[in-house]
Amino acid sequence: MLKRDKLYINGHWAAPSGNEVFEVINPATEEIIGTVPAGGHGDADAAVRAARNAFDAWSATTPAERAEWLEKIYAQMQSRADEMTELIIDELGMPFKLTKMIQVGLPLATMESYAKLVRTFPFEERVGNSLVVKEAAGVVAAITPWNYPLHQIIAKVAPALAAGCTVVLKPSEVTPLNAFLLADAIDAAGLPAGVLNLVSGSGSLVGERLASHPEVDLISFTGSTRAGKRVAELASAGIKRVALELGGKSPSLILDDADLAEAVKGTVKACYLNSGQTCNAWTRMLVPEKRYEEAAKIAVETAARFTPGDPRNEKTRLGPLVSKRQHERVLEYIRIGVKEGAELLLGGVDVPAGLERGYYVSPTVFGKVKPDMTIAREEIFGPVLSIQTYRSEEEGVALANDTPYGLAAGVWSGDEERALAVARRLRAGQVDINGAEYNNDAPFGGYRQSGYGREMGRYGLEEFLEIKAIQQPQG
Protein backbone atom coordinates (compact mmCIF):
# COMPACT_ATOMS: atom_id res chain seq x y z
CA MET A 1 0.00 0.00 0.00
CA LEU A 2 1.61 3.22 -1.21
CA LYS A 3 0.28 6.26 0.59
CA ARG A 4 1.43 9.49 -1.04
CA ASP A 5 0.01 12.25 1.14
CA LYS A 6 1.87 15.31 -0.18
CA LEU A 7 2.08 17.28 -3.42
CA TYR A 8 5.32 18.44 -5.02
CA ILE A 9 5.20 22.24 -5.13
CA ASN A 10 8.05 24.75 -5.28
CA GLY A 11 10.79 22.20 -4.79
CA HIS A 12 9.44 20.33 -1.79
CA TRP A 13 6.71 17.93 -0.74
CA ALA A 14 3.85 20.03 0.65
CA ALA A 15 0.68 19.05 2.49
CA PRO A 16 -2.43 19.45 0.30
CA SER A 17 -5.13 21.95 1.17
CA GLY A 18 -7.72 19.24 1.87
CA ASN A 19 -7.95 15.71 3.25
CA GLU A 20 -9.64 13.89 0.37
CA VAL A 21 -7.73 11.19 -1.51
CA PHE A 22 -7.99 9.08 -4.63
CA GLU A 23 -7.69 5.32 -4.24
CA VAL A 24 -5.54 3.58 -6.84
CA ILE A 25 -6.88 0.16 -7.83
CA ASN A 26 -4.91 -2.76 -9.27
CA PRO A 27 -7.09 -3.72 -12.26
CA ALA A 28 -5.89 -7.33 -12.20
CA THR A 29 -6.91 -7.93 -8.59
CA GLU A 30 -9.38 -5.10 -7.84
CA GLU A 31 -7.36 -4.37 -4.70
CA ILE A 32 -6.41 -0.90 -3.45
CA ILE A 33 -2.66 -0.47 -3.92
CA GLY A 34 -2.26 3.16 -2.91
CA THR A 35 -3.70 6.62 -2.39
CA VAL A 36 -2.79 10.11 -3.57
CA PRO A 37 -4.14 13.52 -2.54
CA ALA A 38 -7.23 14.86 -4.28
CA GLY A 39 -5.92 18.36 -4.75
CA GLY A 40 -8.10 21.42 -5.18
CA HIS A 41 -8.06 25.00 -6.45
CA GLY A 42 -5.70 26.20 -3.73
CA ASP A 43 -3.13 23.53 -4.57
CA ALA A 44 -3.33 24.34 -8.28
CA ASP A 45 -2.93 28.04 -7.53
CA ALA A 46 0.12 27.41 -5.34
CA ALA A 47 1.72 25.28 -8.04
CA VAL A 48 1.11 27.88 -10.75
CA ARG A 49 2.50 30.61 -8.50
CA ALA A 50 5.66 28.56 -7.93
CA ALA A 51 6.03 27.91 -11.66
CA ARG A 52 5.53 31.61 -12.45
CA ASN A 53 8.13 32.68 -9.87
CA ALA A 54 10.64 30.18 -11.25
CA PHE A 55 10.09 31.03 -14.91
CA ASP A 56 12.36 34.05 -15.38
CA ALA A 57 15.46 32.31 -14.01
CA TRP A 58 14.77 28.96 -15.70
CA SER A 59 13.99 30.46 -19.12
CA ALA A 60 17.26 32.43 -18.91
CA THR A 61 19.38 29.25 -18.64
CA THR A 62 21.33 28.20 -21.71
CA PRO A 63 20.30 25.19 -23.79
CA ALA A 64 23.45 23.41 -22.61
CA GLU A 65 22.48 23.98 -18.97
CA ARG A 66 18.97 22.65 -19.59
CA ALA A 67 20.45 19.63 -21.35
CA GLU A 68 22.52 18.88 -18.26
CA TRP A 69 19.40 19.02 -16.08
CA LEU A 70 17.56 16.63 -18.41
CA GLU A 71 20.52 14.27 -18.24
CA LYS A 72 20.39 14.36 -14.43
CA ILE A 73 16.67 13.56 -14.47
CA TYR A 74 17.28 10.77 -16.98
CA ALA A 75 19.90 9.23 -14.70
CA GLN A 76 17.52 9.34 -11.74
CA MET A 77 14.72 7.81 -13.81
CA GLN A 78 17.01 5.08 -15.06
CA SER A 79 17.99 4.16 -11.50
CA ARG A 80 14.28 3.70 -10.73
CA ALA A 81 13.35 1.88 -13.95
CA ASP A 82 12.63 -1.47 -12.29
CA GLU A 83 10.53 0.19 -9.59
CA MET A 84 8.62 2.16 -12.22
CA THR A 85 7.95 -1.02 -14.21
CA GLU A 86 6.54 -2.83 -11.19
CA LEU A 87 4.44 0.17 -10.23
CA ILE A 88 2.90 0.71 -13.67
CA ILE A 89 2.03 -2.99 -13.97
CA ASP A 90 0.09 -2.68 -10.72
CA GLU A 91 -1.59 0.61 -11.69
CA LEU A 92 -2.41 -0.11 -15.32
CA GLY A 93 -2.30 -3.86 -15.86
CA MET A 94 -0.18 -3.91 -19.01
CA PRO A 95 1.82 -7.17 -19.32
CA PHE A 96 5.34 -7.14 -17.91
CA LYS A 97 7.42 -7.23 -21.11
CA LEU A 98 5.36 -4.50 -22.77
CA THR A 99 5.40 -2.33 -19.65
CA LYS A 100 9.15 -2.54 -19.40
CA MET A 101 9.65 -1.80 -23.09
CA ILE A 102 6.92 0.78 -23.74
CA GLN A 103 5.67 2.26 -20.49
CA VAL A 104 9.17 2.75 -19.03
CA GLY A 105 11.65 2.24 -21.85
CA LEU A 106 10.00 4.75 -24.17
CA PRO A 107 9.89 7.60 -21.59
CA LEU A 108 13.56 7.00 -20.83
CA ALA A 109 14.41 7.19 -24.53
CA THR A 110 12.34 10.37 -24.88
CA MET A 111 14.04 12.11 -21.97
CA GLU A 112 17.45 11.15 -23.34
CA SER A 113 16.55 12.32 -26.85
CA TYR A 114 15.51 15.79 -25.66
CA ALA A 115 18.72 16.13 -23.65
CA LYS A 116 20.55 15.64 -26.95
CA LEU A 117 18.19 17.68 -29.13
CA VAL A 118 18.28 20.82 -26.99
CA ARG A 119 22.07 21.06 -27.48
CA THR A 120 21.73 21.34 -31.26
CA PHE A 121 18.32 22.92 -31.80
CA PRO A 122 18.50 26.33 -33.59
CA PHE A 123 16.92 28.69 -31.07
CA GLU A 124 18.05 31.69 -33.15
CA GLU A 125 18.42 32.43 -36.86
CA ARG A 126 19.06 35.44 -39.09
CA VAL A 127 16.42 36.54 -41.60
CA GLY A 128 17.66 39.67 -43.34
CA ASN A 129 18.08 42.39 -40.73
CA SER A 130 16.02 40.40 -38.21
CA LEU A 131 17.17 38.08 -35.48
CA VAL A 132 14.43 35.46 -35.13
CA VAL A 133 14.43 34.03 -31.63
CA LYS A 134 12.53 30.99 -30.39
CA GLU A 135 11.97 31.35 -26.66
CA ALA A 136 10.04 29.63 -23.88
CA ALA A 137 6.26 29.99 -24.07
CA GLY A 138 5.91 30.40 -20.30
CA VAL A 139 4.13 28.42 -17.60
CA VAL A 140 2.81 25.11 -18.94
CA ALA A 141 -0.06 23.07 -17.55
CA ALA A 142 0.54 19.45 -18.55
CA ILE A 143 -2.62 17.34 -18.15
CA THR A 144 -1.97 13.69 -18.87
CA PRO A 145 -3.99 10.46 -19.34
CA TRP A 146 -3.98 7.05 -17.66
CA ASN A 147 -3.26 4.73 -20.59
CA TYR A 148 0.43 5.53 -21.17
CA PRO A 149 0.93 7.52 -17.98
CA LEU A 150 4.69 8.00 -17.70
CA HIS A 151 5.20 8.19 -21.47
CA GLN A 152 2.64 10.99 -21.87
CA ILE A 153 4.09 12.85 -18.90
CA ILE A 154 7.62 12.76 -20.31
CA ALA A 155 6.37 13.60 -23.83
CA LYS A 156 5.23 16.93 -22.35
CA VAL A 157 7.62 17.57 -19.46
CA ALA A 158 10.88 16.83 -21.35
CA PRO A 159 10.31 19.24 -24.27
CA ALA A 160 8.74 21.87 -22.00
CA LEU A 161 11.80 21.91 -19.74
CA ALA A 162 14.09 21.79 -22.76
CA ALA A 163 12.33 24.86 -24.18
CA GLY A 164 12.82 26.78 -20.92
CA CYS A 165 9.24 26.52 -19.69
CA THR A 166 8.19 25.77 -16.13
CA VAL A 167 5.54 23.12 -15.59
CA VAL A 168 2.55 22.22 -13.46
CA LEU A 169 1.77 18.55 -13.99
CA LYS A 170 -1.66 17.04 -13.35
CA PRO A 171 -1.55 13.29 -13.92
CA SER A 172 -4.61 11.08 -14.30
CA GLU A 173 -6.16 10.19 -10.96
CA VAL A 174 -6.56 6.61 -12.25
CA THR A 175 -2.81 5.90 -12.63
CA PRO A 176 -1.05 8.67 -10.66
CA LEU A 177 1.56 6.81 -8.60
CA ASN A 178 4.19 6.77 -11.36
CA ALA A 179 4.03 10.58 -11.50
CA PHE A 180 4.93 10.74 -7.80
CA LEU A 181 7.87 8.43 -8.39
CA LEU A 182 8.98 10.71 -11.23
CA ALA A 183 8.73 13.71 -8.89
CA ASP A 184 10.97 11.80 -6.45
CA ALA A 185 13.50 11.39 -9.27
CA ILE A 186 13.29 15.08 -10.22
CA ASP A 187 13.69 16.11 -6.60
CA ALA A 188 16.73 13.86 -6.25
CA ALA A 189 18.18 15.40 -9.42
CA GLY A 190 18.00 18.79 -7.68
CA LEU A 191 15.94 20.63 -10.31
CA PRO A 192 15.48 24.26 -9.17
CA ALA A 193 12.40 24.91 -7.05
CA GLY A 194 9.21 25.63 -8.98
CA VAL A 195 10.43 24.42 -12.36
CA LEU A 196 8.37 21.21 -12.09
CA ASN A 197 5.32 20.99 -9.82
CA LEU A 198 2.97 18.04 -9.30
CA VAL A 199 -0.68 18.36 -8.29
CA SER A 200 -2.91 15.29 -8.38
CA GLY A 201 -6.62 15.99 -8.64
CA SER A 202 -9.74 15.57 -10.71
CA GLY A 203 -10.19 17.09 -14.13
CA SER A 204 -13.24 19.02 -12.97
CA LEU A 205 -11.32 20.73 -10.16
CA VAL A 206 -7.58 20.85 -10.82
CA GLY A 207 -7.69 20.34 -14.60
CA GLU A 208 -10.25 23.07 -15.19
CA ARG A 209 -8.51 25.42 -12.77
CA LEU A 210 -5.24 25.06 -14.67
CA ALA A 211 -6.92 25.47 -18.05
CA SER A 212 -8.52 28.75 -16.99
CA HIS A 213 -5.77 30.09 -14.73
CA PRO A 214 -4.63 33.58 -15.80
CA GLU A 215 -0.97 32.79 -15.02
CA VAL A 216 -0.85 29.67 -17.21
CA ASP A 217 0.41 30.43 -20.72
CA LEU A 218 0.02 27.07 -22.45
CA ILE A 219 -1.97 23.90 -21.84
CA SER A 220 -0.77 20.57 -23.20
CA PHE A 221 -3.58 18.04 -22.84
CA THR A 222 -3.93 14.38 -23.75
CA GLY A 223 -7.24 12.63 -23.18
CA SER A 224 -10.73 12.23 -24.56
CA THR A 225 -12.14 14.47 -27.25
CA ARG A 226 -14.95 15.49 -24.89
CA ALA A 227 -12.49 16.65 -22.22
CA GLY A 228 -10.28 18.28 -24.85
CA LYS A 229 -13.18 20.42 -26.02
CA ARG A 230 -13.70 21.61 -22.45
CA VAL A 231 -10.01 22.46 -22.03
CA ALA A 232 -10.02 24.45 -25.28
CA GLU A 233 -13.20 26.25 -24.24
CA LEU A 234 -11.76 27.32 -20.89
CA ALA A 235 -8.41 28.29 -22.40
CA SER A 236 -10.04 30.42 -25.09
CA ALA A 237 -11.17 33.00 -22.54
CA GLY A 238 -7.53 33.87 -21.90
CA ILE A 239 -6.35 33.33 -25.51
CA LYS A 240 -4.00 30.64 -24.21
CA ARG A 241 -2.00 28.38 -26.44
CA VAL A 242 -3.36 24.84 -26.41
CA ALA A 243 -2.01 21.52 -27.70
CA LEU A 244 -4.53 18.68 -27.77
CA GLU A 245 -3.87 14.99 -28.38
CA LEU A 246 -7.29 13.37 -28.32
CA GLY A 247 -9.14 10.28 -29.47
CA GLY A 248 -9.03 8.19 -32.59
CA LYS A 249 -10.84 5.57 -34.66
CA SER A 250 -7.92 4.58 -36.79
CA PRO A 251 -8.22 2.44 -39.93
CA SER A 252 -5.89 -0.25 -41.19
CA LEU A 253 -6.44 -0.26 -44.94
CA ILE A 254 -5.42 -3.58 -46.48
CA LEU A 255 -5.13 -3.24 -50.26
CA ASP A 256 -5.85 -6.11 -52.63
CA ASP A 257 -2.16 -6.77 -53.38
CA ALA A 258 -1.09 -6.96 -49.72
CA ASP A 259 0.27 -10.02 -47.94
CA LEU A 260 -3.09 -10.71 -46.28
CA ALA A 261 -1.83 -12.87 -43.43
CA GLU A 262 0.88 -10.39 -42.48
CA ALA A 263 -1.50 -7.43 -42.73
CA VAL A 264 -4.27 -8.99 -40.67
CA LYS A 265 -1.90 -10.21 -37.97
CA GLY A 266 -0.24 -6.80 -37.81
CA THR A 267 -3.62 -5.08 -37.53
CA VAL A 268 -4.84 -7.32 -34.72
CA LYS A 269 -1.60 -6.76 -32.79
CA ALA A 270 -1.89 -2.99 -33.17
CA CYS A 271 -5.56 -3.05 -32.17
CA TYR A 272 -4.97 -5.04 -28.98
CA LEU A 273 -1.86 -3.25 -27.71
CA ASN A 274 -2.42 -2.23 -24.08
CA SER A 275 -5.71 -4.17 -24.18
CA GLY A 276 -6.95 -1.78 -26.86
CA GLN A 277 -6.47 1.23 -24.58
CA THR A 278 -4.41 3.12 -27.15
CA CYS A 279 -5.55 6.31 -28.85
CA ASN A 280 -3.94 5.42 -32.20
CA ALA A 281 -4.96 1.74 -32.17
CA TRP A 282 -6.05 0.35 -35.54
CA THR A 283 -9.57 -0.57 -34.48
CA ARG A 284 -11.07 -0.65 -38.00
CA MET A 285 -9.66 -3.26 -40.39
CA LEU A 286 -10.67 -2.50 -43.98
CA VAL A 287 -10.37 -5.43 -46.39
CA PRO A 288 -11.38 -6.06 -50.02
CA GLU A 289 -14.88 -7.52 -50.10
CA LYS A 290 -13.73 -10.56 -52.07
CA ARG A 291 -11.17 -11.41 -49.38
CA TYR A 292 -13.42 -10.90 -46.37
CA GLU A 293 -13.89 -14.56 -45.42
CA GLU A 294 -10.17 -15.25 -45.57
CA ALA A 295 -9.31 -12.11 -43.62
CA ALA A 296 -11.94 -12.80 -40.96
CA LYS A 297 -10.61 -16.33 -40.44
CA ILE A 298 -7.04 -15.07 -39.96
CA ALA A 299 -8.23 -12.31 -37.64
CA VAL A 300 -10.11 -14.74 -35.40
CA GLU A 301 -7.19 -17.18 -35.29
CA THR A 302 -4.77 -14.37 -34.43
CA ALA A 303 -7.03 -12.70 -31.86
CA ALA A 304 -7.71 -16.02 -30.11
CA ARG A 305 -4.02 -16.19 -29.20
CA PHE A 306 -4.35 -12.98 -27.15
CA THR A 307 -5.49 -14.86 -24.08
CA PRO A 308 -6.29 -12.54 -21.15
CA GLY A 309 -4.32 -13.18 -18.01
CA ASP A 310 -2.16 -12.01 -15.14
CA PRO A 311 0.03 -9.15 -16.41
CA ARG A 312 2.93 -10.49 -14.34
CA ASN A 313 2.91 -13.76 -16.26
CA GLU A 314 5.51 -13.33 -19.00
CA LYS A 315 3.30 -15.26 -21.46
CA THR A 316 0.33 -12.90 -21.05
CA ARG A 317 -0.40 -10.72 -24.08
CA LEU A 318 -3.69 -9.16 -22.95
CA GLY A 319 -3.98 -7.67 -19.49
CA PRO A 320 -7.09 -6.24 -17.80
CA LEU A 321 -8.73 -2.93 -18.59
CA VAL A 322 -7.67 -0.14 -16.27
CA SER A 323 -10.83 0.28 -14.18
CA LYS A 324 -14.33 -0.93 -13.47
CA ARG A 325 -15.70 2.08 -15.30
CA GLN A 326 -13.67 1.31 -18.41
CA HIS A 327 -14.62 -2.36 -18.18
CA GLU A 328 -18.32 -1.54 -18.14
CA ARG A 329 -17.91 0.94 -20.99
CA VAL A 330 -16.25 -1.61 -23.29
CA LEU A 331 -18.79 -4.33 -22.50
CA GLU A 332 -21.60 -1.91 -23.34
CA TYR A 333 -20.03 -1.18 -26.74
CA ILE A 334 -19.87 -4.92 -27.43
CA ARG A 335 -23.57 -5.23 -26.58
CA ILE A 336 -24.33 -2.33 -28.92
CA GLY A 337 -22.37 -3.99 -31.72
CA VAL A 338 -24.42 -7.17 -31.38
CA LYS A 339 -27.67 -5.22 -31.12
CA GLU A 340 -26.95 -3.21 -34.27
CA GLY A 341 -26.33 -6.37 -36.28
CA ALA A 342 -22.56 -6.72 -36.54
CA GLU A 343 -21.39 -10.32 -36.75
CA LEU A 344 -19.68 -11.37 -33.50
CA LEU A 345 -16.85 -13.62 -34.66
CA LEU A 346 -14.95 -13.93 -31.39
CA GLY A 347 -15.22 -12.86 -27.77
CA GLY A 348 -18.13 -10.97 -26.33
CA VAL A 349 -19.30 -9.93 -22.88
CA ASP A 350 -18.80 -13.22 -21.04
CA VAL A 351 -16.16 -13.29 -18.31
CA PRO A 352 -12.95 -14.92 -19.59
CA ALA A 353 -12.48 -18.38 -18.10
CA GLY A 354 -10.70 -18.36 -14.76
CA LEU A 355 -10.67 -14.57 -14.49
CA GLU A 356 -13.67 -13.82 -12.31
CA ARG A 357 -11.62 -11.20 -10.45
CA GLY A 358 -10.13 -8.28 -12.35
CA TYR A 359 -11.37 -6.08 -15.20
CA TYR A 360 -10.79 -8.53 -18.03
CA VAL A 361 -12.45 -8.55 -21.45
CA SER A 362 -12.01 -11.32 -24.00
CA PRO A 363 -10.38 -10.39 -27.31
CA THR A 364 -13.35 -9.50 -29.50
CA VAL A 365 -13.73 -9.42 -33.28
CA PHE A 366 -16.75 -8.11 -35.15
CA GLY A 367 -17.27 -8.85 -38.84
CA LYS A 368 -19.49 -7.28 -41.51
CA VAL A 369 -19.46 -3.95 -39.69
CA LYS A 370 -21.27 -1.19 -41.54
CA PRO A 371 -19.91 2.37 -41.63
CA ASP A 372 -22.86 3.81 -39.72
CA MET A 373 -22.67 1.37 -36.80
CA THR A 374 -21.69 2.76 -33.41
CA ILE A 375 -18.68 0.45 -33.09
CA ALA A 376 -17.38 1.77 -36.43
CA ARG A 377 -17.68 5.41 -35.41
CA GLU A 378 -16.96 5.77 -31.70
CA GLU A 379 -13.74 5.14 -29.81
CA ILE A 380 -14.20 2.02 -27.67
CA PHE A 381 -10.79 1.84 -25.95
CA GLY A 382 -10.82 -1.90 -25.47
CA PRO A 383 -9.75 -5.11 -27.28
CA VAL A 384 -12.46 -4.82 -29.95
CA LEU A 385 -11.69 -5.06 -33.68
CA SER A 386 -14.23 -4.16 -36.37
CA ILE A 387 -13.84 -5.59 -39.89
CA GLN A 388 -15.28 -3.55 -42.77
CA THR A 389 -15.19 -4.28 -46.48
CA TYR A 390 -14.76 -2.22 -49.66
CA ARG A 391 -14.85 -2.94 -53.39
CA SER A 392 -12.31 -0.53 -54.91
CA GLU A 393 -9.28 1.46 -53.83
CA GLU A 394 -11.31 4.66 -54.06
CA GLU A 395 -13.99 3.22 -51.80
CA GLY A 396 -11.34 1.95 -49.39
CA VAL A 397 -9.72 5.37 -49.04
CA ALA A 398 -13.13 7.01 -48.59
CA LEU A 399 -14.03 4.46 -45.92
CA ALA A 400 -10.74 5.02 -44.11
CA ASN A 401 -11.39 8.76 -44.06
CA ASP A 402 -15.04 8.34 -43.02
CA THR A 403 -14.47 9.30 -39.38
CA PRO A 404 -14.54 12.51 -37.35
CA TYR A 405 -11.07 11.58 -36.08
CA GLY A 406 -7.70 11.59 -37.79
CA LEU A 407 -4.97 10.43 -35.45
CA ALA A 408 -3.40 7.44 -37.20
CA ALA A 409 -3.82 4.89 -39.97
CA GLY A 410 -2.14 1.91 -41.57
CA VAL A 411 -1.75 0.94 -45.21
CA TRP A 412 -0.76 -2.52 -46.44
CA SER A 413 0.33 -3.24 -50.02
CA GLY A 414 2.81 -5.33 -51.98
CA ASP A 415 3.77 -2.18 -53.88
CA GLU A 416 5.46 0.46 -51.71
CA GLU A 417 4.88 3.27 -54.23
CA ARG A 418 1.17 2.46 -54.29
CA ALA A 419 1.09 2.30 -50.51
CA LEU A 420 2.80 5.68 -50.26
CA ALA A 421 0.35 7.22 -52.73
CA VAL A 422 -2.58 5.93 -50.66
CA ALA A 423 -0.93 7.07 -47.40
CA ARG A 424 -0.76 10.61 -48.77
CA ARG A 425 -4.54 10.53 -49.27
CA LEU A 426 -5.40 9.49 -45.74
CA ARG A 427 -6.47 12.29 -43.40
CA ALA A 428 -4.43 11.30 -40.37
CA GLY A 429 -1.44 12.67 -38.52
CA GLN A 430 0.55 9.46 -38.68
CA VAL A 431 0.36 6.67 -41.27
CA ASP A 432 2.35 3.43 -41.12
CA ILE A 433 3.08 1.43 -44.25
CA ASN A 434 3.23 -2.37 -43.92
CA GLY A 435 3.60 -2.20 -40.16
CA ALA A 436 6.65 0.06 -40.16
CA GLU A 437 8.25 0.54 -36.75
CA TYR A 438 7.47 3.46 -34.45
CA ASN A 439 9.77 6.48 -34.78
CA ASN A 440 10.28 8.33 -31.49
CA ASP A 441 11.55 11.45 -33.29
CA ALA A 442 8.63 11.74 -35.73
CA PRO A 443 5.72 14.09 -34.98
CA PHE A 444 2.73 12.56 -33.21
CA GLY A 445 -0.69 14.18 -33.30
CA GLY A 446 -3.90 14.25 -35.25
CA TYR A 447 -6.33 15.96 -37.60
CA ARG A 448 -9.89 17.05 -36.88
CA GLN A 449 -11.34 15.75 -33.59
CA SER A 450 -8.09 14.00 -32.79
CA GLY A 451 -6.75 17.40 -31.80
CA TYR A 452 -4.04 19.82 -32.88
CA GLY A 453 -0.39 20.33 -32.14
CA ARG A 454 2.37 17.72 -32.23
CA GLU A 455 4.46 15.80 -29.74
CA MET A 456 7.86 14.08 -29.98
CA GLY A 457 11.11 15.15 -31.62
CA ARG A 458 11.77 18.74 -32.63
CA TYR A 459 8.08 19.13 -33.47
CA GLY A 460 7.23 18.53 -29.83
CA LEU A 461 9.86 21.02 -28.69
CA GLU A 462 8.48 23.70 -31.00
CA GLU A 463 5.04 23.44 -29.33
CA PHE A 464 6.56 25.03 -26.22
CA LEU A 465 8.30 27.92 -27.99
CA GLU A 466 7.20 31.43 -28.93
CA ILE A 467 8.74 33.16 -31.96
CA LYS A 468 10.10 36.68 -31.66
CA ALA A 469 11.56 38.83 -34.46
CA ILE A 470 14.14 41.44 -33.43
CA GLN A 471 14.81 43.98 -36.17
CA GLN A 472 18.29 45.53 -36.15
CA PRO A 473 19.47 48.52 -38.18
CA GLN A 474 21.56 47.66 -41.19
CA GLY A 475 24.95 49.27 -41.39
The edge-to-edge listing of strands for the beta sheet with 451-452 is 12-14, 7-9, 196-198, 166-170, 139-143, 218-222, 241-245, 451-452
Burial 436-453 (b: 16+ CB within 10 A, else e): eeeeeeebbbbbbbbbbb
Check if 279 is active-site. Answer: yes
Do β-strands 31-37 and 2-3 pair in parallel, antiparallel, or remain unpaired?
parallel
Considering the candidates 91, 208, 279, 455, report the single residue annotated as catalytic.
Answer: 279
The active-site residue, picked from 245, 379, 455, 463, is 245
Neighbours of 237 (CB within 10 A): 10
Is residue 83 among the annotated active site residues? no
Q: Which residues are catalytic?
A: 245, 279
